[in-house]
Amino acid sequence: MRVMLHACCGPCLIEPFDALVSEHDVTVCYANPNIHPLGEYQRRLQTLLDYADSRGIEVLEEPYDMVSWMRAVAGLEEDLSKRCKACFRLRLGMVADRAAALGYDAVATTLTVSPYQDPDSIRDAALAACEAAGIEYLDTDFRERYRDATQRSRELGMYRQNYCGCVLSDIEAQREREARRARRV
C-alpha cells in the first residue's frame, strides 16, 4: 500500500517508519500547525528533514497555519483531553486530505509511539479524519517501540523537545517542572 505517515517530529519518526516501510511504500507528511513558536516548528522540522535525508525518505510539509489550530481548539483550552483530540483531528485531517488528493491508499501517524498521548483519542480523530477524506486509516500502536525510539534518537544526537508542541503545553510543562523542583526543595 502507499501510506502517508503523519510525523510530529524526527525522534518519533524513527521507529514507526521502520515498522511500516518493510510492508508499505511510505511517504512522510509534516502537518503540525500546533507547534509554537515558529522557531520551534522549524527546529523540529529541520531535525526530521536531516534524519529523512540520511535515510532517503520523502517528506511533504503542510502549511504552518497556526490560526487553523487556534480555531480547532477554541473553547477547549482548559480541557486537555478535548483540546488534544481536536488538535489530532486537525493535523490528521490535513494529512488525510493530502493523501486522498494524491491517490494514496492509507494514512498512519507517529503520534501512537508516544506513551504521553491518549491512543483512543488519536484513533477516534484519525478515523473521523480518514472517513471524511475517503481514505483508510492504518490503525497502529507503536508504544512498545518508544524506548527504542528514545535511545536511537539520543544516539543520533537529535533535538528532543521537552513539551508537546502548542503554547499551552509549553506553559503546562514549565509548571510541571517548577512543581517538581519545588517538591525536591
Please report, as ranges, the residues that interact with ligand SF4 according to CB under 6 A.
Answer: 34, 73, 83-84, 87, 164-166, 168-169
CA distances in angstroms from 86 to 19, 26, 44, 121, 174, listed in the order given: 27, 25, 21, 9, 23
Q: Report the C-alpha gap between 118 and 125 in whole angstroms.
A: 11
Minimum Å distance from CB 103 to ligand SF4?
Answer: 29
Q: Report the C-alpha gap between 35 and 72 in whole angstroms.
A: 14
Minimum Å distance from CB 80 to ligand SF4?
Answer: 7
73 or 96: whose CB is closer to ligand SF4? 73
34 or 110: whose CB is closer to ligand SF4? 34
Residue-wise burial string across 88-105, b where 16 or more C-beta atoms lie within 10 A, e elsewhere = bbbbbbbbbbbbbeeebe
44 or 98: whose CB is closer to ligand SF4? 44
Q: Report the C-alpha gap between 45 and 72 in whole angstroms.
A: 22
Sign of torsion over alpha carbons 122, 123, 128, 130? positive
Partnered with residue 126 across adjacent β-strands are none
Minimum Å distance from CB 63 to ligand SF4?
Answer: 17
83 or 145: whose CB is closer to ligand SF4? 83
Minimum Å distance from CB 83 to ligand SF4?
Answer: 5
Q: Are 133 and 94 in contact (CB under 8 A)?
A: no
Residue keyed to cell 517501540: 145
57 or 72: whose CB is closer to ligand SF4? 72
Minimum Å distance from CB 113 to ligand SF4?
Answer: 14
